[in-house]
Structure 1
Amino acid sequence: MTPQELKNSILQLAIQGKLVEQRPEEGTAQELYAQIQAEKQRLIKEGKLKKEKPLPEITENEKPFDIPDEWMWVRIGQIFNLQAGKNITATDIYDEPSEKHKYLCYGGNGVRGYVSRFNREGNFALIGRQGALCGNINIANGQFYATEHAVVVDHYNLTDVLWGGWFLKALNLNQYATATAQPGLAVSNIIKVLIPLPPLAEQKRIVAKIEELLPLVDRYEQAWTKLENFNRRFPEDMKKSILQQAIQGKLVEQRPEEGTAQELYAQIQAEKQRLIQSGKLKKEKPLPEITEDEKPFEIPEGWMWVNLGSVVLFENGDRSNKYPVEKDYTNFGIPFFGAKDMGKTYMQFDNVRYISKNKFEELGNGKLHNQDFVCLLRGSVGKVAIFKADTKHQTGFICAQMVIIRCINLKMVNYLQHLFGTEYYARAIAKKITGTAVRQLPAKELAKIFIPLPPLAEQKRIVEKLEELLAMCERLKK
């Protein structure tokens, strides 16, 4: 049960006469009702109250629920005098109180601000009658100003003001609002609404019980909110924890027969040398060795800390004068990807721009292969998505604010995809960002990020376990 549902339940018990016991010595609602009618007649004779048309008799079919024998069903207009306040211009209402503007001003949705004069004095329940929150109830004390959008509930000093406020709230008067762009409540409709009337002494005991229970409800709300926040965060927190366990070698067991990361690393370096010798790859400056002090956390013995740039290839886009401009865009052809085309996992084709095949062939670097990672270097720096080729899109081209990360061994793609989704990767990227007005990530700095490298067979088992557990996290979100 939500805190609001609990409050509603308490109010429902209150208006049904189930919150406190009835006491015969406190009299009956019929006696109180007679006193209210006598007081109304006195005020009418003195000219302080206008004579009203009698309200319709209450039929048995109208009564929504049973109430105690000592209580009485009445219409709101039979026990209260409802009067809307007076108009005041917005320029006369101030956000902060001052010596000149010291009176609270109530409108349709509660307090609007402070004004220099008051038009009511005393203790009253107020009904908002205009706006999205029409039907809301406020209690005003002392000197205050009620606008035309606030209905002042005069109780003739014969009913408890707070009781009136709580019971009017329980009636959910908003349900009687007109269904228009600007919802409103007509006083002529409110006065016909049924309200259960208890004896005055019981009214006071009901108020005391509500005020006793509300602090308990507030404490419940605090605990409930904490639990709700925990439940809302839990799937995402669990996902982050699972990913961290994965890259620390704690998600699956290590198997000596699967070899070592050192062996995988040597294979990748041999392939890089082959590409260099065949002229398909330029020789790069060696990346600095990773010292023991630099290693972010412990990993299994069969694993290895490496620079990202030592196990993948980086390729910037063509930034020559051949770079595509607006006149080169076509209705179909080769996708020309920008930041907007990066999905959560894959590059998206829904709103991608296209360039012609001829234009694409003019370009140099920046042409995508299947299962290439695309990494954003400006704006949401470090964001990564995979280019997945299909029958319609065999390749693509990246914009200037992106870089291609190409796996030398394509069997590493799925492991790296999950690594790029870890908090560890996000923190590593954050340390490399330059610029303030425009956040940027130099590709050479991206290459220096340390990553934990498991053996290839273990990578596969890690990915399989992650897909099983992360699917569970997604189900928990829903």
Structure 2
Amino acid sequence: MDTKKFLAEFRHIVNAPGGVQRLRHLVLYLAVSGKLCPISKGHGSDFKTEIDKVRTQLIKDKTIKPNKKVLLVRDDVPFDIPDNWVWCRFGDLCHFSAGRTPSRKESIFWNTGDYPWFSITDMKHGKVISDSSETVSEEARSKVFKCPPVKASTLLMSFKLTIGKVSITGVDAYHNEAIIAIYPFVEDLKAYFFKCLNGFALTAGNKAAIKGKTLNQDSISNIYIALPPKEEIGRVVAKVDELMSLCDKLEFQQEKRRNLQTRARTVVLEEINKAQGSHELKEAWLRLQANLLLLLDGPEDIETVRNAIMNALIRGQLTRRSKVNASELVEMCRKHKEKLIKEKILQKQKPYSKHREYPFSLPENWAWVRFSEVGTLARGKSKHRPRNDPKLFIDGKYPFIQTGDVARAVGKGITNYSKKYSEFGLSQSQLWQPGTLCITIAANIADSAILKIEACFPDSVVGFIPFEAVGCVEYFDLFVRTAKSTLIEYAPSTAQKNINLGILEQIAVPLPPRNEMEKIVAKADQLMQLCDQLENQLTKAQRIAERLAQAAVASITGTQIKEKETMKAPKTELVTKLKLAASPKKNDQAPLASILAKHNGELSAKGLWDYSGLEIDGFYLQLKTEMARGWIVEPEKARVIEKAEAV
């Protein structure tokens, strides 16, 4: 190995995302390709001859059976090795066997404490393992395993789902069928396999393994292993140990640096939120600005900066005070609400619980209010049961927004949806207008987004519409998104520790004058755009670092960088035609056939699905039922065509 070249490229490798792990892989590659230690005078072929003699004797003694899966070494070896090393197949160097899992239905086999039983989750890569999460019984030994347990100090390797995790047993134990016990024919190979096995291409030529599924006896037997002279193995293993120990220290130092960075970033951002007066705030922001790149490790750290900005905005720290007082706006809202109650448009509410204290101090011209003091707050409606009744969606034309649609629209506004209510669906629900703030109170708690279209939503979503005098629904969306993780802190101390309509009605909302609200929203847009730009820059920097690391490894190893092919999603459309076989009667449960009857008896499968408003699984189940009952003709085999490009 060229030491100067390695040291020159070291920084590029280590500073890249996942750099230490990449360095570990490089150490293993250098070890198994004979580039880590000085070349000895011995020859690997002599060692191979010794191993062959041991294997032949074990077969002759009927201790093991010959492995007929092992192929001859061909010219397709993975990389170059020194002249005095030799390529072998894994099955030529060791015997291996998979474990078993006793039937879970037989309680007599399990957790009696008689024998440890290892699964992949119990394995710790590169470690000796003695503790298992489960045990098996003497009954399992005699009726399932029918052999003694694997002895302590046996080498184990996972070969299903998680491929290549290697451990050594610290106790006599059994293991499951996703793990093999490895018995090298010569003891010297044990340490070599334990430390260096992952330096070889364990999944080469095995398509199932490449997909992360499994190896099998054939593929395991034919893993290519570069065999050094016997006297070199100890030096190679010792050097790998030494370098892996340095990698551990480097990883610890990086983690320590990241923790310090996170703590420093937290302190700086907390100073912004706790700043009293414009002078303290200015100093805190200048400190953040001067050290921003030092405080950020990657694009994922930008989220904490966004949160700090939004917190500062809803506290009035980033905008100038106006001469108007929010109390005037509150009074206007009170009079408007009294009018709505008098006109029986709104119902009179119970008195609010009093807040003993608020989360933070407000600017002098702001006020604490509840949502229902400055607008209307109500749950969506979905009265009909079951909620997935096809009648709710057949011939649907009214967008139906669900909690997942709100979650996907956070910060963007709700325009997309997966279902539409029919006239019947609308009759048991309510159509909300654009500009409604949707807040989820089930599944995704307290996600919020502004409705950009007319739509219905269920009672798992709460709608808020500010009074006309208040306007600026974007400000309230900003508040909910900012306070989401600590929203309960804005409720009275007597409130239950969850979110529902009753709690949302009690939430204390910081209310600025209207002109300040609009400035806050504009400032939020401006600063979020800057955060997006910084995030993009950090993402780009990470990609460049990854490419530099790849190039550095390629320079050291002499390998070529493989370009990743970008897979393009085919623009296709299901065009199988579904035809009406017989018109259903009025009381027949045949919603799909009814749709076909309204469309001249024929639609594409996709078109029928769109009109039905059903989930895809429910659609196919209903389609199968109606075909079986003779309402819809069973189609020919589905075919797919390319969609035409838009001009």
* TM-score by shorter chain over 0.5: yes
Distance 1:274 1:153 in 2: 83
- CA shift, 1:352, in A, is 3.8
Given that 1:381 and 1:441 are in contact with CA atoms closer than 8 Å, whether structure 2 keeps it comes out as no
- 1:86-129 per-residue CA deviation (whole Å, 9 max, x = no partner) reads 7674469966573xx33656899978854645265575544556
Alignment of 1:71-82 (within 5 A): 71-76=84-89, 80-82=93-95
Which of 493, 510, 517 is residue 452 of structure 1 equivalent to? Answer: 510
Equivalent residue number for residue 31 of structure 2: 14
Q: 1:55 to 1:260 in 2, by over 3 A?
A: closer
Q: 1:370 to 1:183 in 2, by over 3 A?
A: closer
- 1:190-243 per-residue CA deviation (whole Å, 9 max, x = no partner) reads 555432222333312222232333344345455667859975752332232221
SS at match of 1:174: coil
Equivalent residue number for residue 521 of structure 2: 463
- CA shift, 1:452, in A, is 1.9
Q: 1:298 to 1:125 in 2, by over 3 A?
A: same
Q: 1:461 to 1:270 in 2, by over 3 A?
A: same
Q: 2:263 aligned with 1:248, yes or no?
A: no
Equivalent residue number for residue 373 of structure 1: 437
SS at match of 2:510: strand
Distance 1:335 1:55 in 2: 62
Q: 2:230 aligned with 1:200, yes or no?
A: yes
Given that 1:316 and 1:403 are in contact with CA atoms closer than 8 Å, whether structure 2 keeps it comes out as yes
Equivalent residue number for residue 421 of structure 2: 353
Distance 1:415 1:39 in 2: 78
SS at match of 2:501: coil
Which of 56, 60, 65 is residue 79 of structure 2 equivalent to? Answer: 65
Equivalent residue number for residue 33 of structure 1: 48
Distance 2:417 2:68 in 1: 70
- CA shift, 1:171, in A, is 1.3
Distance 2:94 2:332 in 1: 89
Distance 1:134 1:325 in 2: 42
Q: 1:404 to 1:266 in 2, by over 3 A?
A: closer
Amino acid at match of 1:353: Y
Q: 1:55 to 1:72 in 2, by over 3 A?
A: farther
Q: 2:365 aligned with 1:302, yes or no?
A: yes
Q: 1:126 to 1:172 in 2, by over 3 A?
A: farther
Q: What is the RMSD computed on CA atoms of the aligned residues? A: 5.1
- CA shift, 1:75, in A, is 1.2
The structure with the largest alpha-carbon Rg is 1
Given that 2:85 and 2:226 are in contact with CA atoms closer than 8 Å, whether structure 1 keeps it comes out as yes
Which of 117, 133, 157 is residue 186 of structure 2 equivalent to? Answer: 157
SS at match of 1:102: strand
Distance 2:165 2:200 in 1: 10
Equivalent residue number for residue 426 of structure 1: 487
> Any stretches of 5+ residues in structure 1 without a counterpart?
none
Count of residue pairs brought into register by the alignment: 453
SS at match of 1:175: coil
Moved more, 465-474 or 110-119: 110-119
SS at match of 2:419: coil
SS at match of 1:415: helix
Amino acid at match of 1:155: P
Taking structure 2 as the reference length, the TM-score comes to 0.55
- 1:163-195 per-residue CA deviation (whole Å, 9 max, x = no partner) reads 1333333213233436399744234x5555432
Equivalent residue number for residue 331 of structure 1: 395
- CA shift, 1:262, in A, is 3.8
Given that 2:98 and 2:180 are in contact with CA atoms closer than 8 Å, whether structure 1 keeps it comes out as yes
Moved more, 298-307 or 221-230: 221-230
Amino acid at match of 1:415: Y
Distance 2:188 2:332 in 1: 88
Given that 2:366 and 2:511 are in contact with CA atoms closer than 8 Å, whether structure 1 keeps it comes out as yes
Q: 1:218 to 1:453 in 2, by over 3 A?
A: same
Equivalent residue number for residue 605 of structure 2: none
- 1:40-73 per-residue CA deviation (whole Å, 9 max, x = no partner) reads 56656767677889987756x444333335x411
Amino acid at match of 2:364: E
Given that 1:331 and 1:354 are in contact with CA atoms closer than 8 Å, whether structure 2 keeps it comes out as yes
Structure ranking higher in helix proportion: 2
Alignment of 1:390-405 (within 5 A): 393=454, 402=462, 404-405=464-465
SS at match of 1:294: coil
Given that 1:84 and 1:147 are in contact with CA atoms closer than 8 Å, whether structure 2 keeps it comes out as no
- CA shift, 1:244, in A, is 0.8
Given that 1:136 and 1:173 are in contact with CA atoms closer than 8 Å, whether structure 2 keeps it comes out as no
- 1:141-170 per-residue CA deviation (whole Å, 9 max, x = no partner) reads 675557777555443335241113333332
Moved more, 308-317 or 238-247: 308-317
> Any stretches of 5+ residues in structure 2 without a counterpart?
1-15, 124-131, 142-146, 263-296, 540-647
Distance 1:106 1:397 in 2: 46
- CA shift, 1:315, in A, is 5.6
- CA shift, 1:463, in A, is 0.7
- CA shift, 1:453, in A, is 2.0
Q: 2:304 aligned with 1:237, yes or no?
A: yes
Q: 2:468 aligned with 1:408, yes or no?
A: yes
Given that 1:127 and 1:138 are in contact with CA atoms closer than 8 Å, whether structure 2 keeps it comes out as yes
Moved more, 450-459 or 328-337: 328-337
- 1:333-391 per-residue CA deviation (whole Å, 9 max, x = no partner) reads 6667676764545556541424469959xx9xx664442334556776655443434xx
- CA shift, 1:415, in A, is 1.2
Taking structure 1 as the reference length, the TM-score comes to 0.71
Given that 2:118 and 2:174 are in contact with CA atoms closer than 8 Å, whether structure 1 keeps it comes out as yes
Given that 2:377 and 2:462 are in contact with CA atoms closer than 8 Å, whether structure 1 keeps it comes out as no
Moved more, 141-150 or 296-305: 141-150
Given that 2:34 and 2:82 are in contact with CA atoms closer than 8 Å, whether structure 1 keeps it comes out as yes
- CA shift, 1:414, in A, is 1.6
- CA shift, 1:22, in A, is 3.9
Given that 1:260 and 1:302 are in contact with CA atoms closer than 8 Å, whether structure 2 keeps it comes out as yes
Distance 1:282 1:77 in 2: 79
- CA shift, 1:427, in A, is 2.4
- CA shift, 1:6, in A, is 2.7
Given that 2:112 and 2:136 are in contact with CA atoms closer than 8 Å, whether structure 1 keeps it comes out as yes
